[in-house]
Structure 1
């Protein structure tokens, strides 16, 4: 990723009541690059200059040449399908919604980067979308609870007609694909169904023809139509490919017979030569012959292949996988180059080393990753399979990165090599949920799902438990240590914050609120703390007597899950379930800047020590870097 990647979103600033909002806050880099669970979610725009993919509730346009990113906002829930018109004029995206509620299809004007139309008919989920070859129509497929196909007139933004997608309740349609030459013909396929549909605009009807597969019983996951519209190629869960005559609906061929694709064929693309690029659920990408489906070349990628998009004349192409990776490949040598990488699930925490603004670390399911700020790329990955890291902290000497895990262990790694330095087993009975190291690097304080706070002493070749402090009744969600290492503050989902004496190991003050505390920060002068939680309030507390000093309305909707304060204490930032980043003046208690780009609930955030960069993470796996709007005070 280039350090010049930027995206100003002046038009996306949405002020709250009584807030004075400036419009110069911007996000310049997103490290979450692909929602790997969206089938064919990675698309190449016909201009061959932009990759298009969903990220939570957002659709991202990414320039291939300089990595600049632009964001299309409008969806209220996760985007689950995507299509780009043949001319490139339009992008269509559909979302998931709650069962029983209607869901929306957005048609975006690519040139204006704005909403062209909102189409609402399907319930719960939009399964698949496809544009007609001349951009006249859009066909949309509802999910299993909807089971309907609707054809839309793009010019009038109205539905022309619709029909149930399948003929039997036990069948389920998964994908629609339009003809390459005829605006009146499209195909639907899925579990036990393969149909060719003909659109009769004059009578506002669509008429299906069932394809005849003989004795074959297949569940189809993906469909690709040859450039001349002669054949359908269908990828199945059985790992073979069906070749069906589009005009007659008769099975022409199928294969491979023996060396089938493991875990099913998840995506197909027809090359310029007519050969097929085939992606499987096992992560194997194969180039297959157009005549007998013989495997000509293959390569193993990380996790299942979900997207293939072809560039140029078919020689170069991009591949997306369930691991959130995007590979660049060529049919000449069939070698894979990783161009973008990211977490694949919710990012739990982000931390920066003391006194530096060059690196940061994030944690999620299965791994910890280190990133470089100026040229954002993954420097190191520390995998711990089948485990979730809940919290991180750099020891101040920079020699170790300590981490809290859901398997009840504390693990420390070398930040340069990723080598495991030590493990504290059975640190907390219900998992370790919060962690911090003292400034003298001699102790670790941890909080757990059992509500306990434990102090550990680090010895040259071992560690020992110093004390257990029990007052919280539920999970410890946040933990901060005072700069003199003599006190710490813990926040819990039981609605209490407790100031602890780390010399006598007793509670000094208790702060109680009618909320589930999610985040907490010391003011740099350490005489006050600020807290946030599910009540959407930001509270200022006096550390010495536990009294509340001020309470602010922090959000109009959703819990506030994360906060951080600048080194000089002049400003702090908050973020939560409303996916909005807010910058606050600490003394005035007002919002100075608002940023909207996150596609999922914000889970953590950190301001670098020189106030240049703000890093935020979210539940959709995204890591975003923002240009912080306030320089440090002199």
Structure 2
């Protein structure tokens, strides 16, 4: 059978959204957004995840129907779709395509017969109600307030004698207002259309709503942390998931992740059971691949953004946009040391000499290549021929030669002992984004701004073969065997290639932002991809 890959696990969730994490009524599963992917995860088994894919941009809101039969999700972007999923069958049931710029809120009615969706402001400030029996629009209105942040259904509207009618009631809230709505579902009419709810002197930006059980009172919470009509408002902890016990309100952390785009991923040279990542939030994290928990983490709050990482023994060495190199303990996450002024304009690439691990090579924004003694933290060599930012560094097995790739379109081969260039490869158009040296130490594979996967022989100045890509690839990794290549980039699709012949074997869908970095595990059984969506995806490779 043909080699392929399959998504095994996702780490990370969109914790900056107001409604991104839902507890399923079955008492076992949670539903949450991770970039453009909706994930159903077993609270007791970290290996049991189901991925619902149908969005092509970041998911902005999620809701689960009262019985758990349906899940609804809305996204941002040009295709601002609302998708309804069948929970039991884990399949797409309906796709609603009436919103323009993005979806701010989705909410199911108490009887699961209707779904409410509200667009974002600016761009689409409309409200739609959908029939769950057909997936068709039941009603719409442009009377919704700007910057709607939340919505809640309140059962059936009551008449003046407090008796239920056949009309539905719901409330929306946002910037400085709460509105009450009444909908006649038979003809889509509005007996009450967005009537402002009087909150007296409480002029606030409201973020959450709840009706009392008797539906006589509406509770609202605001951005100030104040409670209106005794609603308890809790804070959002970005990147973290907690389970709370109702009896004593005790919390147990069930998941943790980075809190922003992830810039790089790396494995230790001889271990496939853990890997490290870094993020724009300034954090470095070491993950256990057996159960996906965090082994350790470290953070630098005032160092800019980490752009590249590499293992050296039990330490993680990282390059930063402030021009420093920082070393973290791989067991505790503690920062051990740093080197200032490594590169003016920022460190853009870094690699530790593989055999003795005594030296590291760094590349900078201005095209400089520098060699450093890790123990003394002194520079021992400075190589300057590139004219633009260094994007990749690879070291030969003899530890005496290195390859460097740059935005200046060149891949240069260096004799480190004699501090001179010995070979040069030049891409015809656009810079080099990433490359990998094959185990035979003669062949190179690269991706760049010209949107091609290029195969090189160091003895030849031009590519042996070039394959057109659907988008610009930003990251590339090659298996330890040299048989497989994996690429990822702005198309948001991970692609697995056979080196011999350059055949594309599989596409991996899941990311909803550019893929920034990819890495094969040393045993070639798994691939880890990280991206702008703040997600880490672990893929199984079947050969």
Give the TM-score of the pair, scaled to structure 2. 0.92
Q: Match for residue 209 of structure 2? A: 223
Which consecutive residues of structure 2, in runs of 5 or more, have no partner in the other structure? 158-166
What is the rounded CA distance, in whole Å, between the counterparts of 1:79 and 1:348 in structure 2?
21
Q: Match for residue 297 of structure 2? A: 381
Q: Match for residue 109 of structure 1? A: 86
What is the rounded CA distance, in whole Å, between the counterparts of 2:72 and 2:431 in structure 1?
39
Residues 24-103 of structure 1 mapped to structure 2, 5 A cutoff: 25-32=5-12, 34-67=13-46, 68-97=48-77, 101=78, 103=80
Q: Does 1:434 align with 2:349?
A: yes
Q: Does 1:160 align with 2:107?
A: no
Query: Which one of 473, 478, 503 corresponds to residue 565 of structure 1?
Result: 478
Structure 1's consecutive aligned runs of 4 or more residues displaced over 6 angstroms after TM superposition are none
Q: Match for residue 591 of structure 1? A: 504
Q: Match for residue 235 of structure 1? A: 221
Preserved contact between residue 130 and residue 178 of structure 1 (Cα < 8 Å): yes
What is the rounded CA distance, in whole Å, between the counterparts of 1:490 and 1:583 in structure 2?
24
Preserved contact between residue 156 and residue 168 of structure 2 (Cα < 8 Å): no
Q: Does 1:149 align with 2:127?
A: yes
Cα displacement (A) at 1:277: 4.5
Q: Match for residue 269 of structure 1? A: none
Q: Match for residue 195 of structure 1? A: 179
Cα displacement (A) at 1:82: 0.8
Deviation string, structure 1 residues 184-222 (Cα, Å, up to 9, x no partner): 111011112111100023442222322112233222121
Query: Which one of 488, 493, 507 corresponds to residue 421 of structure 2?
Result: 507
In the alignment of these two chains, the number of paired residues is: 526
What is the rounded CA distance, in whole Å, between the counterparts of 2:246 and 2:389 in structure 1?
52
Q: Match for residue 102 of structure 2? A: 125
Q: Match for residue 320 of structure 2? A: 405
Q: Match for residue 393 of structure 1? A: 310
SS in 2 for 1:548: coil
Preserved contact between residue 173 and residue 207 of structure 2 (Cα < 8 Å): yes
Deviation string, structure 1 residues 138-163 (Cα, Å, up to 9, x no partner): 11111112221111122222222211
What is the rounded CA distance, in whole Å, between the counterparts of 1:423 and 1:172 in structure 2?
45
What is the rounded CA distance, in whole Å, between the counterparts of 2:55 and 2:143 in structure 1?
25
Preserved contact between residue 178 and residue 197 of structure 2 (Cα < 8 Å): yes
Deviation string, structure 1 residues 263-310 (Cα, Å, up to 9, x no partner): xxxxxxxxxxxxx55213xxxxxxxxxxxxxxxxxxxxxxxx1xxxxx
Which consecutive residues of structure 1, in runs of 5 or more, have no partner in the other structure? 1-19, 244-253, 255-275, 281-304, 306-320
Of 184-193 and 324-333, more deviation after overlay is shown by 324-333
Q: Match for residue 619 of structure 1? A: 532
Cα displacement (A) at 1:517: 1.9
Q: Match for residue 409 of structure 2? A: 495
Preserved contact between residue 298 and residue 335 of structure 2 (Cα < 8 Å): no
What is the rounded CA distance, in whole Å, between the counterparts of 2:509 and 2:148 in structure 1?
35
Alpha-carbon RMSD across the aligned residues, in angstroms, is 2.0
Preserved contact between residue 180 and residue 225 of structure 1 (Cα < 8 Å): no
What is the rounded CA distance, in whole Å, between the counterparts of 1:351 and 1:193 in structure 2?
48
What is the rounded CA distance, in whole Å, between the counterparts of 1:232 and 1:495 in structure 2?
62
Preserved contact between residue 170 and residue 182 of structure 2 (Cα < 8 Å): yes
What is the rounded CA distance, in whole Å, between the counterparts of 1:415 and 1:214 in structure 2?
56
Preserved contact between residue 615 and residue 625 of structure 1 (Cα < 8 Å): yes
Q: Match for residue 164 of structure 2? A: none
Q: Match for residue 148 of structure 2? A: 173
Q: Match for residue 251 of structure 2? A: 336
Q: Match for residue 162 of structure 2? A: none
SS in 2 for 1:408: coil
Give the TM-score of the pair, scaled to structure 1. 0.79
Cα displacement (A) at 1:180: 4.1
Distance 1:499 1:216, change over 3 A: same
Preserved contact between residue 580 and residue 596 of structure 1 (Cα < 8 Å): yes
Cα displacement (A) at 1:58: 0.9
Query: Which one of 435, 445, 469 corresponds to residue 361 of structure 2?
Result: 445
Cα displacement (A) at 1:421: 3.1
Cα displacement (A) at 1:573: 1.5
Q: Match for residue 415 of structure 1? A: 330
Residues 505-544 of structure 1 mapped to structure 2, 5 A cutoff: 505-513=419-427, 514-544=429-459
